């Protein structure tokens, strides 16, 4: 048995590591991760983008409040977003202008940005310059350095298998050992519901949804480095450059159970067919595929803060498709709420992210 920990963080993805960094300024932190390495699940499988206008209002507030740390951590580099629409979807370009802020451009301008766009298929396009590649490993390492610098202990290959409420906090069984902690942080991604149920805490229902990726050789052997992130207007697929290669996602959102996700061949094939309909270069080969789980609360905003039934159980879950964009502000909010100090975000945003919003 070890001395009592102030914060036991469960989960070693971007949510848990950023939470550990923020909480370690306030007390002792031990982070538990099942896998041998941090960032093995959703955090190792993302599209690695920062788009401030992506997500609903509380997510956008977190995106905006995170930008300063993203700059300090030096993780952003310009990419740009090109939205393309085929016949029948023209009106959606205006909708995407309203929601994402992408301004209409001509098809000729779109081809100048993305030379393999098939002008016989695409008849409307829009562009937003303020969209960035986000170096996800660098951000994870930034928070890991901060957490360790503040004394956090990181335990990988250390799955939490039971949680028991005791007088002054929690008894935690992890790996072969038993720990005690004043507070638990549920940063378990797709496993967040399982952790809540282990602790006897009601969950709003955090549901994992699979999303896949295929890496292709550069289309036509072209230099893809300066190409934008390309999004079909209804998000039936999206694509982006990746270290000289080209990523295409079928952009599916298939409900799944928490597991080590992999790409479904049929979903990849159908997604590539939808993508191929828009381009002049055929898909000749797929180098590799993978999938990850994006886990959403029912209203698709993150769940951050103390549980209303037991404030020693802290939520840092429901990161959906925005975990890297939002991590700096979400982890800061978690620490503010754990410390009882005023949050930097406005009260309406704090409430829209609070676990209490699901309790009547
Ligand atoms: C295809 C795809 C594209 C994406 N694109 C973007 C993007 O462009 N920008 C963006 O910001 N986000 C993007 N995301 C979303 C982003 O990847 C996630 O929001 C983020 O990684 C979630 O982080 P997490 O730490 O909550 O989850 P995870 O990284 O899954 O970490 C949770 C960890 O908890 C651990 N765990 C679970 N149970 C236990 C236990 N009992 N004991 C110990 N450890 C446990 C797991 O092993 C896991 O490592 C994308 C996701 C996918 C799949």
Average pLDDT, stretch 117-134?
96
Burial call 151-166: b when 16+ CB within 10 Å, e when fewer: ebebbbebebeebeee
Here the CATH number for the domain that contains residue 124 is: 3.30.9.10
The two tokens of residue 87 are 């016949």
Q: Which atom of ligand 1 is nearest to the CA of 326?
A: 11
Q: What's the chain's average pLDDT? A: 96
pLDDT at residue 213 greater than cutoff 60? yes
Cα-Cα-Cα-Cα dihedral of 278, 282, 283, 284, to 10°?
180
Q: What is the CA radius of gyration of the chain?
A: 21
Residue 62 lies in a domain: no
Q: Give the bridge partners for 85, in sequence order.
A: 124
Count of alpha carbons within 13 angstroms of residue 77, beta-carbon side: 11
Average pLDDT, stretch 275-284?
98
How far does the centroid of ligand 1 lie from the alpha carbon of residue 190, in Å? 7
Q: How many structural domains does the chain have? A: 2
To test ligand 1's pocket by mutation, which of 323, 326, 329, 330 has the most ligand atoms within 8 angstroms of CB?
323
Average pLDDT, stretch 56-76?
97
pLDDT at residue 249 greater than cutoff 70? yes
Claim to verify: residue 218 and residue 345 sit in the same structural domain: no
Quote the pLDDT of residue 118.
Answer: 98
pLDDT at residue 99 greater than cutoff 90? no
Instruction: Indicate the helix (H) or strand (E) that contains 127.
Output: strand 124-128
pLDDT at residue 221 greater than cutoff 60? yes
Quote the pLDDT of residue 260.
Answer: 98
Claim to verify: residue 112 and residue 234 sit in the same structural domain: yes
pLDDT at residue 163 greater than cutoff 60? yes
Here the CATH number for the domain that contains residue 143 is: 3.50.50.60
Q: Which of 273, 296, 319 is the last residue of a domain?
A: 296
Claim to verify: residue 348 and residue 303 sit in the same structural domain: yes
To test ligand 1's pocket by mutation, which of 46, 173, 240 has the most ligand atoms within 8 angstroms of CB?
46
| CA–CA gap between residue 87 and residue 67 (Å, rounded) | 36
How far does the centroid of ligand 1 lie from the alpha carbon of residue 137, in Å? 13
DSSP result, 222-248: ---TTPPEEEETT-S-EEEEETTEEEE
Tell which wins on pLDDT, 309 or 175.
309
Quote the pLDDT of residue 1.
Answer: 57
How far does the centroid of ligand 1 lie from the alpha carbon of residue 226, in Å? 28
Average pLDDT, stretch 163-180?
96
Q: Which atom of ligand 1 is nearest to the CA of 195?
A: 41
Band of pLDDT at residue 94, cut at 50, 70 and 90: confident
To test ligand 1's pocket by mutation, which of 8, 41, 295 has the most ligand atoms within 8 angstroms of CB?
41
Q: Are 344 and 66 in contact (CB under 8 A)?
A: no
Residue 188 lies in a domain: yes
| CA–CA gap between residue 28 and residue 33 (Å, rounded) | 17
Instruction: Spell out where 233-352 has E strands.
Output: 238-242, 245-249, 254-255, 288-296, 303-306, 313-317
Claim to verify: residue 312 and residue 342 sit in the same structural domain: yes
Give the DSSP letter of residue 185: E
Average pLDDT, stretch 9-36?
98
Residue 198 lies in a domain: yes
Residue 91 lies in a domain: yes
Claim to verify: residue 219 and residue 343 sit in the same structural domain: no
Quote the pLDDT of residue 360.
Answer: 72
Q: Which of 296, 316, 336 is the last residue of a domain?
A: 296
To test ligand 1's pocket by mutation, which of 208, 324, 330, 331 has the most ligand atoms within 8 angstroms of CB?
324
Residue 74 lies in a domain: no
How far does the centroid of ligand 1 lie from the alpha carbon of residue 68, in Å? 22
In tens, the pLDDT along 176-209 reads 999 999 999 999 999 999 999 999 999 999 999 9
Nearest CA to ligand 1 atom 19: 323
| CA–CA gap between residue 159 and residue 152 (Å, rounded) | 17
**Domain residues for 247?**
81-129+207-296
pLDDT at residue 97 greater than cutoff 80? no
Claim to verify: residue 123 and residue 211 sit in the same structural domain: yes
Quote the pLDDT of residue 87.
Answer: 85
Residues with CB under 6 A from ligand 1: 10-16, 32-35, 40-43, 45-49, 159-160, 187-191, 211, 213, 249, 292, 294, 319-325
Quote the pLDDT of residue 49.
Answer: 98
Q: Which atom of ligand 1 is nearest to the CA of 49?
A: 8
Q: Which atom of ligand 1 is nearest to the CA of 190?
A: 30
Residue 163 lies in a domain: yes
DSSP result, 98-125: HHH-PEEE-HHHHHHHSTTB-TTT--EE
Q: Which alpha helices (DSSP H) does the chain contain, by range?
A: 14-23, 57-72, 90-100, 107-113, 136-149, 192-199, 265-276, 323-339, 347-353
Quote the pLDDT of residue 86.
Answer: 93
> With a threshold of 0.95, does the pTM exceed it?
yes
Q: Are 330 and 302 in contact (CB under 8 A)?
A: yes
Average pLDDT, stretch 57-85?
97
């Amino acid at each position: 048995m070890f001395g009592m920990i102030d914060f036991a963080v469960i989960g070693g993805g971007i949510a848990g590591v950023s939470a550990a960094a923020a909480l370690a300024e306030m007390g002792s932190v031990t982070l538990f991760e099942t896998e041998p390495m941090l960032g093995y699940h959703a955090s190792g499988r993302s599209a690695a983008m920062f788009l401030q206008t992506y997500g609903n209002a509380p997510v956008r507030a977190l995106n905006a409040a995170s930008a300063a740390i993203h700059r300090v951590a030096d993780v952003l580099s310009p990419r740009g977003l090109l939205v393309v629409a085929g016949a029948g979807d023209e009106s959606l370009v205006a909708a995407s202008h309203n929601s994402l802020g992408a301004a209409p451009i001509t098809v000729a301008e779109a081809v100048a940005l993305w030379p393999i766009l098939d002008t016989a298929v695409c008849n409307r396009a829009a562009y937003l310059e303020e969209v960035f590649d986000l170096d996800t490993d660098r951000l994870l390492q930034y928070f890991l350095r901060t957490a360790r610098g503040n004394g956090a202990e990181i335990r990988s290959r250390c799955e939490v298998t039971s949680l028991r409420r005791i007088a002054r906090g929690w008894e935690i069984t992890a790996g072969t050992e038993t720990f005690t902690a004043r507070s638990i942080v549920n940063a378990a991604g797709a496993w967040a519901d399982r952790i809540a149920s282990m602790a006897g805490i009601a969950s709003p229902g955090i549901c994992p949804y699979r999303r896949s990726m295929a890496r292709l050789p550069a289309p036509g052997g072209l230099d893809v480095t300066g190409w934008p992130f390309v999004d079909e207007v209804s998000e039936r697929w999206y694509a982006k450059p990746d270290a000289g290669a080209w990523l295409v996602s079928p952009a599916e959102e298939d409900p799944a159970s928490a597991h080590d996700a992999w790409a479904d061949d049929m979903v990849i094939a159908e997604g590539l067919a939808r993508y191929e309909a828009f381009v002049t270069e055929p898909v000749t080969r797929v180098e590799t595929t993978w999938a990850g789980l994006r886990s959403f609360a029912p209203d698709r905003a993150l769940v951050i803060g103390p549980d209303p039934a037991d404030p020693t159980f802290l939520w840092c879950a429901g990161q959906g498709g925005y975990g890297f964009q939002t991590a700096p502000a979400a982890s800061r909010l978690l620490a503010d709420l754990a410390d009882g100090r005023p949050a930097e975000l406005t009260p309406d945003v704090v409430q829209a992210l609070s676990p209490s919003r699901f309790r009547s």
